[in-house]
Amino acid sequence: MDRKEILSELKKVLAPYTESKEMLAGINEETDLIKDLKINSANLVDIIIDAEAQYNIEIDFDAAEKMYNVGNCIDVISEKINKTA
Amino acid sequence: MNDILNYLPYKSSFLFVDDITSLDENGVTGNYTLKRDAFFYEDHFPGNPVTPGVIITEIMAQIGLVVLGIYLMVSGSKQEGGAMDENSFPLLTSTNVEFFKMVLPGEKVVVTSKKQYFRFGKLKCLVEMHNAVGELVAKGVFSGIIKNAIK
């Protein structure tokens, strides 16, 4: 799965947690989950858990700490996917 | 089991836990009896005291999330939570509660909570409250975290 594919899947994962639907439609690697998408910081945990199910991966504490913007999320997810593959 | 109550950060008028009757890593059951002279009854509503929904929610959160959360942190698995010290306190991060029955002054309520997950310091539970005759009073999904005091 390349970064573009991960990004489009990630949109679905993020959708239930943001009110900024327009912002979500136009996300890029620089988009900040809390500042731009106005996601409740405690819901980042739910996003990580949903991402684990979506991509069939396991995300540990150290990886989770990096996932504050879209690019970092893709980094972590693509690294974990390649590990499982 | 009630030793855990010593860890609760609430005092007097905002402590809403009397007794914990069951507690393990997957859930908790506890109860609280509403004090007839509680501060909120005089004004909610004058001459017609009814327990406010926010107080019902608080009772559910204190028993269902805070007691269980403290237990999970004290009993290990610290890598998932982090310890709670005197400078930290529990914060509710989301609830969606439905209320089915009123609770009147002096009523005893029983709260049961089932853990959905405890990860990265966040605890999420399905919490139910029943009254003394076993009727469902309120039900909802609660989430909370431990926050360090800003000093």
Look up the CATH number of the domain holding residue A66.
1.10.1200.10
Torsion, Cα B122 B131 B100 B114, to 10 degrees, reads 30
State the pLDDT at residue B84: 63
Look up the CATH number of the domain holding residue B95.
3.10.129.10
Domain count, chain B: 1
The two three-digit tokens of residue B52, written as one number: 């406010």
- Contact flag B119-A42 (C-beta cutoff 8 Å): no
In this complex, the residue of B94, B117, B121 whose CB is nearest that of residue A40 is B94
* β pairing state of B122-131 and B88-99: unpaired
Residue type, A56: N
State the pLDDT at residue B151: 55
Reading phi first (left if > 0) and then psi (alpha if -120 to 50, else beta), residue B76 is in left
State the pLDDT at residue A19: 94
Mutation target to probe the B interface, by most B beta carbons within 10 A, among A44, A45, A52, A58 is A45
State the pLDDT at residue A17: 97
Query: Which residues, in sequence order, are CB contacts of A81 under 8 Å at separation 6+?
Result: A1, A6, A55, A57
- Domain with B39 in it: 10-148
Name the stretches of chain B with pLDDT < 50: 77-82
Q: What percent of chain B has pLDDT over 90?
A: 78
pLDDT digits (tens, 9 = 90+) for A12-62: 999 999 999 999 999 999 999 999 999 999 999 999 999 999 999 999 999
State the pLDDT at residue B74: 83
Domain membership flag for residue B78: yes
Domain count, chain A: 1
- Domain with A10 in it: 3-84
Domain membership flag for residue B5: no
Domain membership flag for residue B108: yes
Domain membership flag for residue B117: yes
Domain membership flag for residue B89: yes
